[in-house]
């Protein structure tokens, strides 16, 4: 080969190597930027949700048919309580709102009313009382607006309450409230996430799980949520669980979980769901191997421990999901 041709060939190879390196760097930087953007979205979302949960609610007229005068006063105090103020210590919400004067409440509110009175008070555990307050106030908002159509509601705080109040008892209404909240607050990740939770429940609620429309709606909800919260591990869990419980989908569920295990090397959910899929396929020892990897990543996780012990004891259902999205104590 002539010297000139050799020089040209070396130049071409060098240019190709530089181009490949540049593309690799671009992809890596793009991935890092996408991850950072997702983290920023999640941080902004948490700050926004904290304000929505903590802010006082506008007074809603209640009639004597809905509660006694003392209860209506208590409800207005509870809904008007402002937690956005800087607190030097957790306030005695029970005394401030005069809950002891309200002794008879409508049946839909009784359990939450009793739980609030039991949980809150002098020297109450702040996070437990706060969660009790959020749930009671959400149920109260939902009760007092029960005759309003979701389309009529324009206050994001009312929609946040209705999403929370109906998440388990009426997921269809919770989804509608979350969708309306997304219309009002397009960048609010929790509204997208609530739709995923509701859609997951709707898709898996019947034993056959063959409702293709429900699974399609869930896929769309996950896709939309990932645009704002792609780095959220709870969203990853929802996605992996959706694959696991889809009919005739175990092979794909296994593959998706193994991919997640490689893509998120510090996250335990990938190997955990890979183990779950393998166990459902009757491959118990392989499931234990993946559970061992999950345990390396998060040694103190009770779900992993329970699954390992359950498989060794011969339990038929050693795995469990946990997609409640309900750590409300962080919003204080």
| CA-based nearest residue to 52, from 141, 129, 118, 126 | 141
Give the pTM: 0.82
Question: Given pLDDT bands bounded at 50, 70 and 90, which one contains residue 318?
Answer: very high
DSSP codes joined into one string, 54-115: HSPPPP----TTTS-HHHHHHHHHHHT----S--SS---HHHHHTGGG-----HHHHHHHHH
* Alpha-carbon gap, residue 296 to 319, rounded angstroms: 17
- On average, the pLDDT of the chain sits at 85
Residue-level pLDDT at 246: 92
User: Can you give the pLDDT at residue 170?
Assistant: 94
Q: How far apart are CA 104 and CA 110, in angstroms?
A: 8
pLDDT, tens digit, for every residue of 236-290?
999 999 999 999 999 999 999 999 999 999 999 999 999 999 999 999 999 999 9
**Is 90 exceeded by the pLDDT of residue 13?**
no
Q: Token pair of 192, please? A: 């997208």
pLDDT digits (tens, 9 = 90+) for 55-73: 999 887 766 677 888 998 9
Query: Which residues, other chains included, contact 250 with Cβ-Cβ below 8 Å and sequence gap of 6+?
Result: 244, 277, 280, 281
For 231-332, give the CATH class: mainly alpha
Q: Residue ranges of the domains in the chain?
A: 50-147, 154-228, 231-332
Is the distance from CB of 80 to CB of 56 less than 8 angstroms?
A: yes
196-219 residue pLDDT tens: 999 999 998 865 556 788 999 999
Is 305 or 130 the better-scoring residue by pLDDT? 305
Note the pLDDT of residue 143: 93
Using the predicted structure, report yes or no on whether residue 28 has a pLDDT greater than 90: no
- pLDDT above 80 (res 5): no
């Amino acid at each position: 080969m002539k010297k000139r041709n050799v020089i040209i060939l070396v130049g071409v190879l060098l240019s190709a190597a530089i181009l490949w390196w540049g593309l690799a760097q671009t992809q890596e930087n793009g991935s890092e930027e996408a991850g950072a953007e997702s983290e920023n979205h999640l941080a902004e979302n948490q700050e926004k949700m904290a304000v929505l949960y903590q802010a006082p609610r506008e007074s809603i007229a209640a009639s004597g048919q809905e509660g006694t005068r003392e209860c209506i006063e208590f409800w207005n105090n509870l809904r008007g309580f402002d937690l956005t103020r800087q607190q030097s210590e957790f306030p005695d919400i029970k005394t401030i709102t005069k809950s002891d004067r309200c002794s008879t409440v409508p049946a839909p509110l009784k359990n939450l009313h009793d739980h609030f009175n039991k949980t809150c008070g002098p020297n109450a555990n702040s996070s437990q009382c706060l969660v009790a307050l959020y749930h009671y106030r959400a149920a109260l908002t939902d009760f007092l607006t029960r005759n309003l159509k979701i389309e009529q509601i324009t206050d994001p705080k009312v929609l946040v309450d209705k999403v929370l109040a109906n998440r388990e008892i009426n997921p269809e209404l919770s989804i509608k409230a979350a969708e309306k909240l997304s219309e009002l607050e397009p960048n609010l990740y929790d509204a997208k996430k609530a739709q995923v939770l509701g859609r997951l429940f709707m898709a898996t609620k019947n034993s056959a799980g063959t409702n293709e429309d429900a699974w399609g709606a869930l896929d769309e909800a996950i896709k939309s949520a990932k645009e704002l919260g792609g780095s959220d591990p709870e969203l990853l869990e929802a996605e992996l669980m959706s694959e696991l419980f889809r009919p005739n989908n175990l092979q794909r569920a296994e593959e998706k979980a193994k991919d997640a295990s490689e893509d998120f090397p510090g996250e335990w959910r990938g190997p955990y769901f890979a183990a779950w899929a393998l166990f459902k396929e009757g491959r118990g020892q392989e499931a234990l191997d993946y559970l061992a990897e999950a345990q390396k990543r998060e040694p103190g996780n009770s779900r992993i421990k329970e699954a390992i012990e359950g498989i060794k004891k011969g339990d038929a259902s050693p795995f469990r999901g946990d997609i409640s999205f309900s750590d409300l104590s962080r919003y204080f």
